[in-house]
Chains A and B, each alone.
Chain A
Amino acid sequence: MGIVELVVSIIIVLVAVALVIWLYFIRQGDAEFEFLVDQRTGLKLDSINSNVAVFSCKVPFVNKGMQDGTIMDCYTRHLLPREQYDGVELASWLAVETRPRNDGYFEALIVPKTTGETLDITLKFTAKDNDIKVALADMVDFSLDIVYQVVARREWYIAKQRMIVVADELIQALNAETTRA
Chain B
Amino acid sequence: MNMELELIPVKTRILTPKDDIVDTIEKYAKDMIGPDDVVSVAESVVAITQGRITSPEELAPCFLAKVMCRFVPQKGSLSSVYGMQAAMAVEGKWRMAFAMLAGLLAKLIGRNGVFYELAGEQAALIDDVTGTMPPFDKSIVYGPHDPSGVAEAIKARLGCHGAAVADVNDLKRAAVLGVTKGLEPASLSKILIDNPFGNASQRTPIVIIKNYAKALAKANA
Contacts and interface: CB of A to CB of B under 8 A. Distances in A.
A24 B56 contact: no
B79 A73 contact: no
Chain B, interface residues (CB within 8 Å), range? 20 to 34
A155 B82 CA distance: 8
A153 B79 contact: yes
A72 B81 contact: no
Contacts, number: 45
B57 interface: yes
A70 B129 contact: yes
A154 B130 contact: no
A30 B135 CA distance: 26
B57 A153 contact: no
Interface stretch (A102-110, A160-168, A173-181): A102-110
A153 B69 contact: yes
Where chain B touches its partner, the secondary structure class is: helix
B61 A155 contact: yes
Interface in B120-136: 128-130, 134-135
Contact of A24 (B61, B70, B129): B70
Contacts of B220: none
B56 A28 contact: no
Contact of A25 (B57, B70, B82, B128): B70
Most-contacted residue by chain A among B61, B75, B138 (CB, 10 A) = B138
Interface residues of A, number: 20
A153 B74 CA distance: 9
A25 to B, nearest CB: 6
B30 to A, nearest CB: 32
B74 A68 contact: yes
A110 B69 CA distance: 17
A96 interface: no
Contacts of A70: 80, 128-130
Nearest to B129: A108
Given A73-B138, A151-B80, 10 more contacts: A21-B67, A28-B70, A72-B129, A105-B135, A109-B130, A151-B82, A152-B80, A153-B69, A155-B56, A155-B66
Interface of A: 21, 24-25, 28, 67-68, 70, 72-73, 105, 107-110, 151-156
14 contacts: A24-B70, A67-B74, A68-B74, A70-B80, A70-B129, A108-B129, A109-B130, A110-B130, A151-B56, A151-B80, A151-B82, A154-B66, A155-B66, A155-B81
